[in-house]
Amino acid sequence: MSISNLFLGFRRSLSFLALLLVAVPGDFFCTPGAFGLDKQTIWKVPVLYVTDRQSQKNTFGPRRLLEKNTVARVESGIVEVCVQQDRTKALADWQKTAHLGRANSMEPPKVNKFNCQTSDDLKGEFNAGLNEALERTSKKEVFVFIHGFNNSFNVAAANAARLSFYTGCPVILYSWPSAGKLYRYSVDECNNEWSQEHFNQLLEHLLSLKRSQGLQCNMVAHSMGNRLFVRAVTVYSGTGLFKDIYMVNPDFDAQTFIHYLSRYMPPTGLVSGVRAQLLVSRKDNALSVAEGLFGGYTRLGQGVDFTLSALTSPQSFGGVWAHHADSLLKSSQQDADTDAKVVESIRKVFRVFDVTALDHGMLGHKVPHEFIAWMHFRNQAPPGFEIKLGQSKGLNRLSRFFARSQKQNIKGSVGECSIVTRSNPGEDVSVHRPGGL
């Protein structure tokens, strides 16, 4: 065996060891005793779910749902999840709905299944459950949440419930069969890819509801869940299905994301009125390790290198966004006019947020549910925080280590972005802490 091969194996082993050192089990964050209940109000939050996991006792397990003679095999229902609210923090106006119910103690998630065998069955009890949830919240919008790597169904449901709690909106959890084990990252990659068709079918169903009922949808995709969202671009591109999009710590190759966006963007640019927020954190060590596992090439959620420059300063990357559809049928002037519209649409739609101040723990990589709610309804940070324009700070220490060890020359800064900072450093403004990967 050559010295180069030995060194390559050492680097990969080091990457995996780093993942073991920074990671904590996702189920830890759902442990009722993890937080004192003396200062907590407990709410019971219903979450609609669509999943292609196999049933397991009173929940869903890590294995794929057997498809048999169809590729439309999914199950749906409602899962009720208990969420703790700090009594020192008042509910925002948009949280005060009949959607929340009081609970006396923290209880395990309770799954109530609909009569659903395929995506066609979503037209029945699922639609009825969604309409009922919309009536309870007095809102015409719903959030779709896709979880990431190393998430059991219960962990994913807990994250979705907190999103529903903070936004006061119904949430549809799409739960793909993550193995829920740290060392099964490659299995999660495989199952995530397998789940694509089922997720696409859910989006097609939501599109039909948008056209028939005017349903407004928002997207929150976390970590590896962003792979499902990005690959589904052929389903939703140009439809205006999503008004607000939050790509949180995306575990997706950064440059490949630009390839997708350039290829599948509508000829006249991104749909007007859409807001796409990319949330990145320098405390996110999970993506740093993923960078090491993938040869030193950066992940989208690291918010570095040329990729983010193309989003924050699209006018400087006209060649990247030059639209190639039907280019042989257009004049040079038509191409130039179209490309200018595309660049302007990217500038208006995309916004990069550095949410390092909201992240926490050795691993980081958390969903800032409260921040998403305040951005959605008030276009501002939650109390105790503020948003300032500034220069991105680039790679964290672990990412720089992997970049150097694998000889990747990564540009540290991507220009101006929106940085979330504490408005009063002496004030305890910690966000609600539970969360999975």
Amino acid of residue 70: T
Q: What is the pTM of this model?
A: 0.86
Partners of 220 in the beta sheet?
145, 246
* Span 36-76, pLDDT tens digits: 445 578 999 999 999 999 999 899 999 999 988 889 999 99
Residue 433 pLDDT greater than 50, yes or no: no
| 382 part of a folded domain | yes
Range of the domain at 23: 3-258+271-313+347-422
- The yes-or-no verdict on residue 351 having pLDDT over 50 is yes
Instruction: Give the chain's mean pLDDT.
Output: 83
For residue 7, is it within any domain? Answer: yes
pLDDT single digits (tens) 314-329: 777 767 776 554 444 4
pLDDT digits (tens, 9 = 90+) for 49-60: 999 999 998 999
Tokens of 150: 């190393």
Lowest mean pLDDT among 109-123, 209-223, 244-258, 280-294: 280-294
The answer to the question of residue 327 being in a domain is no
The dihedral region occupied by 374, where left means phi > 0, alpha psi between -120 and 50, and beta the remainder, is alpha
127-147, pLDDT tens digit by residue? 999 999 999 888 889 999 999
Long-range contacts of residues 234-237, Cβ cutoff 8 Å, at least 24 apart: 234/264, 235/200, 235/203, 235/204, 235/207, 236/203, 236/207, 237/264, 237/265, 237/266
Q: 217 vs 48, 133, 242, 245, 265, CA distance in Å?
A: 14, 14, 5, 9, 19
Could you give the number of structural domains in the chain? Answer: 1
Tokens of 196: 């694509």
Q: Is 238 left (phi over 0), alpha (psi -120 to 50) or beta?
A: left
In a domain, 352, yes or no: yes
Is residue 324 included in any domain, yes or no? no
pLDDT of residue 119: 95
3 state SS for the chain:
CCHHHHHHHHHHHHHHHHHHHHCCCHHHHHCHHHCCCCCEEEEEEEEEEEECEEEECCEEEEEECCCCCCCCECEEEEEEEEEEEECCCCCCHHHCCCCCEECCCCCCCEEEECCCCEHHHHHCHHHHHHHHHHHHHCCCEEEEEECCCCCCHHHHHHHHHHHHHHHCCCEEEEECCCCCCHHHHHHHHHHHHHCHHHHHHHHHHHHHHHHHHCCEEEEEEECCHHHHHHHCHHHHCCCCCEEEEEEECCCCEHHHHHHHHHHHCCCCCCCCCCEEEEEECCCCHHHHHHHHHCCCCCEHHHCCHHHHHHHHCHHHCHHHHCCCCCHHHCCHHHHHHHHHHHHHHHHHHEEEEECHHHCCCCCCCCCCHHHHHHHHHHCCCCCCEEEEEEECCCCCHHHHHHHHHCCCCCCCCCCEEEEEEECCCCCCCCCCCCCCC
Cα–Cα nearest to 42, from 52, 50, 32: 32
Q: Retrieve residue 67's tokens.
A: 């498809």
Residues 6+ apart with CB under 8 A from 312: 350, 352, 414, 415, 416, 417
pLDDT per position as a tens digit, 244-287:
999 999 999 988 998 898 888 887 778 778 899 999 998 888 88
* Domain membership flag for residue 381: yes
Strands 53-56 and 59-64: antiparallel
Whole-number pLDDT of residue 128: 97
**What number of CA atoms fall less than 13 Å from residue 378's CA on the CB side?**
15
Lookup: tokens for 215: 């349903």
Output the CA torsion 132→368→92→137 (10° steps): -10
Q: Decide: 82 and 33 in contact? Cβ < 8 Å.
A: no
Q: Does the residue 60 lie in any domain? A: yes
Question: In the prediction, which pLDDT does 2 show?
Answer: 54
- Higher-scoring residue by pLDDT: 371, 397: 371
State how far the Cα of 31 lies from the Cα of 60, in Å rounded to an integer: 18
Buried b / exposed e across 217-246, counting CB within 10 Å, b at 16+?
A: bbbbbbbbbbbbbbbbeebbbeebbbebbb
Residue 338 lies in a domain: no
Task: Give me Rg for the CA atoms of the chain.
Answer: 21
